[in-house]
Amino acid sequence: MTHDEQLKAVKDFSYQKMSGDATGHNFDHIQRVVKTAKKILVTEAADPLITLSAAYLHDVADDKLVSDPAELEKEIRDFLKDNQFSNTQIEEIIFITHNLSFSKSLGSNPPKLSLAGQIVQDSDRLDAIGAIGITRAIYYGGANSDTIYDPKILPREKMNKKEYRNLNNETIINHFYEKLLKLTDMMNTSSAKKIAQSRNQYMLGFLAEFKAEWDAKK
Ligand code: ADP
Ligand code: NI
């Protein structure tokens, strides 16, 4: 198989696994992440087959989406083997999909991703900010019946632990402070950081407008 044929097989596999998802993780998200990864690959010397395969597969075995991530991970390994990926390539792709998440990056010992992994992580994070990010946050919050905004709810680090634990829901606006506004500084590659900065400005403008309207100041 040529690399193009391998990648086409990965794309079809991802489509089959992701197209039914309605939590903002559907195949449109995957295609945007792949497109962004391709753009970053123009200036970063990572292996395109590994990078783009990991981009296609990064949410397939997400424990938020499937009840048995280990089973899906096995399915992914078998699938890659059947499509002539080497064991080394399979291990790298699985490692990336396993270690991409925001929560893993916040831990005391964050996983060290290869350049391919860093590009997929940047691309996934770019899709969580800017106009798309705003839309996804509202879509997610709506699906989860979250409150839109409550000025008393602040990010975790700005509340005392007990107060925070007693909160029974997150608000959509607070999610920007908990996560989305932090992503720009966490970008790995310089091209992603540049894109992130402009998307971050857009979110800050949105939040300022939102609060002004909330307080009837505008
Ligand atoms: P991914 O794994 O692709 O980075 P997540 O599963 O963390 O994304 O979330 C999917 C989308 O929903 C993201 O755009 C994220 O910002 C948004 N989201 C996640 N949790 C919340 C929340 N509590 N409130 C609002 N939006 C959220
Ligand atoms: Ni994702």
Domain with residue 181: its CATH number is: 1.20.58.1910
Q: What is the ipTM of this complex?
A: 0.96
What one-letter code names the amino acid at 192?
Answer: A
82 and 143 inside one domain:
no
| C-alpha 218 – ligand 2 centre gap (Å) | 35
Torsion angle defined by CA atoms of residues 153, 133, 183 and 45, in that order, rounded to the nearest 10 degrees: 170
pLDDT at 158 (0 to 100): 79
Q: Is the minimum distance from the CB of 126 to ligand 1 under 6 angstroms?
A: no
Q: Is the minimum distance from the CB of 199 to ligand 1 under 6 angstroms?
A: no
- Identify the CATH number of the domain in which residue 8 sits: 1.10.472.50
Assess if residue 123 is contained within a domain.
Answer: no
> What is the pLDDT averaged over residues 77-103?
96
- Whole-Å CA distances, 98 to 70, 79, 112, 192: 11, 17, 12, 21
99 and 136 inside one domain:
no
Indicate the pLDDT class of residue 153, thresholds 50, 70 and 90. confident
75 and 172 inside one domain:
no
> Facing residues of 171 across strands?
147
> What is the pLDDT averaged over residues 137-154?
91
138 and 212 inside one domain:
yes
96 and 137 inside one domain:
no
Residues near ion ligand 2 (CB < 5 Å) are 59, 124
pLDDT at 64 (0 to 100): 72
Q: Is the minimum distance from the CB of 137 to ligand 1 under 6 angstroms?
A: yes
Assess if residue 110 is contained within a domain.
Answer: no
Q: Which of 186, 205, 59 is nearest to 131 (CA)?
A: 205
Alpha-carbon Rg for the chain, nearest whole angstrom, is 19
Assess if residue 184 is contained within a domain.
Answer: yes
122 in Cβ contact with 192 (< 8 Å)? yes
132 and 98 inside one domain:
no
| C-alpha 216 – ligand 2 centre gap (Å) | 36
Assess if residue 116 is contained within a domain.
Answer: no
Q: Is the minimum distance from the CB of 128 to ligand 1 under 6 angstroms?
A: yes
Handedness of CA 128, 133, 136, 141 (dihedral sign): positive
Q: Bigger pLDDT: 212 or 168?
A: 212
What one-letter code names the amino acid at 123?
Answer: S
Distance CA 111, CA 107 (A): 9
Q: At what angle do helices 27-41 and 115-126 cross, to 10 degrees?
A: 130
Instruction: Tell which of 60, 88, 103 closes a domain.
Output: 103
| C-alpha 60 – ligand 1 centre gap (Å) | 15
pLDDT at 25 (0 to 100): 64
> Facing residues of 147 across strands?
171
Q: Is the minimum distance from the CB of 170 to ligand 1 under 6 angstroms?
A: yes
64 and 139 inside one domain:
no
| DSSP line for 46-88 | --HHHHHHHHHHTTTT-TTT-S-HHHHHHHHHHHHHHTT--HH
CB-based burial of residue 210 (10 Å sphere; 0-12 exposed, 13-18 middle, 19+ buried)?
middle
31 and 91 inside one domain:
yes
Distance CA 77, CA 26 (A): 21
pLDDT at 136 (0 to 100): 95
Assess if residue 59 is contained within a domain.
Answer: yes
Task: Indicate whether 154 pLDDT > 80.
Answer: no
Q: Is the minimum distance from the CB of 153 to ligand 1 under 6 angstroms?
A: no
59-79 pLDDT, tens digit each? 998 877 778 888 999 999 999
Domain count of the fold of the chain: 2
For residue 4, give its domain range.
Answer: 1-103
Assess if residue 62 is contained within a domain.
Answer: yes
113-132 pLDDT, tens digit each? 999 999 999 999 999 999 99
Q: Which ligand is nearest to the CA of 63?
A: 1
